[in-house]
Structure 1
Amino acid sequence: MPERTLCNCRILIVEDEFMLADEMKLELDEAGAVVLGPVGTVEDALAMARSEQRIDGAILDVNLGGEAAYPVADVLIARGVPLVFTTGYDGTSLPDRFKAVARCEKPTTIRLITQAIGRVLHE
């Protein structure tokens, strides 16, 4: 099971929907991950993406309170951090530079998101 490969992986959760962020945190905790966040704004996500010494992977909601989280994705990608977008938008709405980023379209399940981050961490 991919989620078992998350043991001791430091995963950043960037999600502005509290209930979804909390469920993700619980699922990742259960899988043995070390959860960073969750954070729900672009500003807080940028601060964490820049200041955390080690981030093994990230789950990033594309739309944070009406603001695109692309600057956060750019920082994470520049650091070599694998990430998964969660979004209600289809892939054609993402900027071309993010076409190769793994994506879970909402509505989705927490288990699918957890499996997706497991896959990108160990590709």
Structure 2
Amino acid sequence: MTSATDPLASCRVLVVEDDYFLATDMRREFEASGPEVLGPVPRVEEALALIAATPRIDGAVLDVNLQEEMVYPVADALQARGVPFVFATGYEKTVIPDRYAGVKHCEKPLEAAQVAKALFA
């Protein structure tokens, strides 16, 4: 249970994940620890539309490969807005383009607490 002074309690976290079970588990775990979850969304174009329509996003969790499409346009949109994000993926960090060298990387399988720590620490 979170308190009103818990910084995560007022956060809005975008989850971009195409695996239904992982997305559902991540949403449930995040919501249990306080943040409002935007999504989850399974496709790049849906994520971009949600970003454009949402004035405040405090952080995001991005799967790298969404239905055979790479998530990098979403990462670029978040970077342009100054929104911190982490890659949550089964890919090794070496596969991610150098322009994202400073972005934290969480390997699957993962837990929302691990991702939240990487995102907000």
What TM-score results when the alignment is normalised by the length of structure 1? 0.89
Q: What displacement does 1:110 show?
A: 3.1
1:104 and 1:113 in contact (8 A); partners too: yes
* CA apart distance, 1:101: 0.4
Match of residue 12 from structure 2? 10
Secondary structure of 1:53's counterpart equals coil
Aligned to 1:53: 55
Aligned length: 116
* Matches of 1:116 and 1:26, distance apart in 2: 18
2:31 is equivalent to residue 33 of structure 1: no
- Whole-angstrom distance in 2 between the partners of 1:109 and 1:38: 15
Which of 41, 44, 67 is 1:42 aligned to? 44
Provide the residue aligned with 2:3 in structure 1.
none
Contact kept in structure 1, 2:26 and 2:111, CA below 8 Å: no
The one-letter code of the counterpart of 1:66 is: E
Identity of aligned residues (%): 51
Question: Deviations for 1:71-98, whole angstroms, at most 9, x for unmatched residues?
Answer: 0000001000000101111111111101
RMSD: 1.1
Spell out, residue by residue over 1:38-95, the C-alpha distance to the aligned partner (whole angstroms, 9 max, x if none).
Answer: 1000110011112211000000101101110000000001000000101111111111
Q: Which structure 1 segments of 5+ residues have no match?
A: none
1:109 CA displacement: 2.7
Shifted more, 104-113 versus 74-83: the winner is 104-113
Between 1 and 2, higher relative CO (CA 8 Å, sep ≥ 6) is seen in 1
When normalised by structure 2's length, the TM-score is: 0.90
User: Does the 8 Å CA contact 1:21/1:38 hold for their aligned counterparts?
Assistant: yes
